Amino acid sequence: MSSTKKLALLGGNPVINTPFEEYESLRDSDIAAALEVLNSKILSEYIGSSGNYFLGGRRVKGLESTWKQYFKVEYAVSINSWTSGLWIAIGALGLEPGSEVIVSSWTMAATATTILHWNLIPVFADIDIATFNLNPVDVEHRITNRTRAIVSPDIFGQSADIESLKKICERYDLKLISDTAQSPGAKRHGYFAGTASDIGGFSLNYHKHIHSGEGGVAVTNSPELALRMQLLRNHGEVVVGQNRELKDQFGIMGMNLRLGEIESAIAESQLTALTDAIESRRRGAQLLTSLISELPGIFVPEISPGNDHVYYVYGMRFDFHKLGINRATLVRALKAEGVPAMQEGYQNIHSLPLFSEQLTFRGNPLPYSLLPRKRRHELSKTVLPISEKLHQTDFVGINWCAKRYTDNEVQSLAEAFHKVWNNLNHLREI
Ligand SMILES: *Cc1c(COP(=O)(O)O)cnc(C)c1O
């Protein structure tokens, strides 16, 4: 075993000498689906006015129909990115400007910027230390009489605690949106993550489990919310203006967020790859967990009861007091052994100047200026102890979605961890 030999960081040979093989995310069948659209010479069939094609062409409708059957929901609304999806989801709620929307700080910035885009106020709540998803107890503490909705990410591959969040929503009459960009196919108590909220949705960008280059799909069981999202993605005001049955102009300030026919065809084809993709990532992650979980001072990914995990990120915490080294040293040592795709910390988007200094429209602090001064001040001082500590000192993630690790590759990852743990005393001296 090389695991007792000299660390690569200190001049020894690395456990992993050659980088792991890249995996191909597009299959021949996905490429054939795209070519079929190209050969049809119709790359989009949307029309931004009333009529048959207001809801898109053949492939857009095909994708949405397959998607809603797969995820067992009433409505699927495709868009050109999941950022666009968050924008139509929040817009569809029709909330009064200046209303507060509770959101996690451990997510991609779009989860919160799309709140600001509607002149709503993102209020950040802390996360659960074990799952990195919103902590419902902290969410409830941050509710005020201005709160109208919660946007809850299903981060790294598993669902948030939706039952608890829904109870809070019932108690305070709030809407719930799930950002399931990272967790398509993950289940909670048998249902798909993202499908138990008022609106959920998925990203189809290149870096996610399945993709069409760019793209996204929002899902809901509410006919009213589905209609509003369809209007928002395609210049809804023209239809509302023409159609006497649609008098509700409220919140319908539309955009062009339409997904093309090529991307729709690829996305529909990629959906048949989802089970395989998450199975292989789950298998690799479970193997790694079984091989490294006994090392002292490491906390491998925890799965919340009722969940299964699709491992977009393999997220770990460490007790660095116990290890006697800091995070930067640990990551440098693992990297030197050849462990790829690690990130120190994740996100703390509440500390971005956009939110913490309320620096929105070139210095005009809309929508924050809709709040009483005291509340603005309070929000600028938001403290999230768990999010901050994990980001600053305790968390290391491996971008697990970037590859499909073979059993041999996982064995060598685990060997790198064991080698570093066997040499902690040497790392304490540098
Ligand atoms: C990727 C991602 C998004 C944005 O999706 P796009 O399709 O890239 O716009 C939003 N939220 C989370 C948590 C994500 O991981």
| DSSP symbols for 162-194 | HHHHHHHHHHHT-EEEEE-TT-TT-EETTEETT
Task: Please tell me the distance from the alpha carbon of residue 267 to that of residue 184, in angstroms, as a whole number.
Answer: 13
pLDDT for residue 21: 84
Which among 152, 199, 203, 349 is the best mutation to test ligand 1's pocket, defined by most ligand atoms within 8 Å of the CB? 203
Could you identify the atom of ligand 1 that is nearest to the CA of residue 82?
7
Per-residue pLDDT 10s for the chain (430 aa) are: 444 689 999 999 999 999 898 888 999 999 999 999 999 999 999 998 888 899 999 999 999 999 999 999 999 999 999 999 999 999 999 999 999 999 999 999 999 999 999 999 999 999 999 999 999 999 999 999 999 999 999 999 999 999 999 999 999 999 999 999 999 999 999 999 999 999 999 999 999 999 999 999 999 999 999 999 999 999 998 887 776 666 666 668 899 999 999 999 999 999 999 999 999 999 999 999 999 999 999 999 999 999 999 999 999 999 999 999 999 999 999 999 999 999 999 999 999 999 999 999 888 899 999 999 999 999 999 999 999 999 999 999 999 999 999 999 999 999 999 999 999 999 998 8
Ligand 1 midpoint to CA 110 (Å): 7
Ligand 1 midpoint to CA 103 (Å): 14
Ligand 1 midpoint to CA 181 (Å): 5
Per-residue pLDDT tens over the stretch 377-420: 999 999 999 999 999 999 999 999 999 999 999 999 999 999 99
Task: Please tell me the distance from the alpha carbon of residue 215 to that of residue 211, in angstroms, as a whole number.
Answer: 7
CB neighbourhood size of 26 (10 A): 17
Could you identify the atom of ligand 1 that is nearest to the CA of residue 153?
13
Q: CB within 8 A of 32, min separation 6: which ones? A: 269
Task: Please tell me the distance from the alpha carbon of residue 393 to that of residue 343, in angstroms, as a whole number.
Answer: 12
| Structure letter (DSSP) for residue 371 | S
Ligand 1 midpoint to CA 296 (Å): 34
Ligand 1 midpoint to CA 354 (Å): 18
- Spatial contact of 353 and 359, defined as CB atoms under 8 Å apart: yes
Ligand 1 pocket at CB < 6 A: 81-83, 107-108, 110-111, 153, 179, 181-182, 203, 205, 216
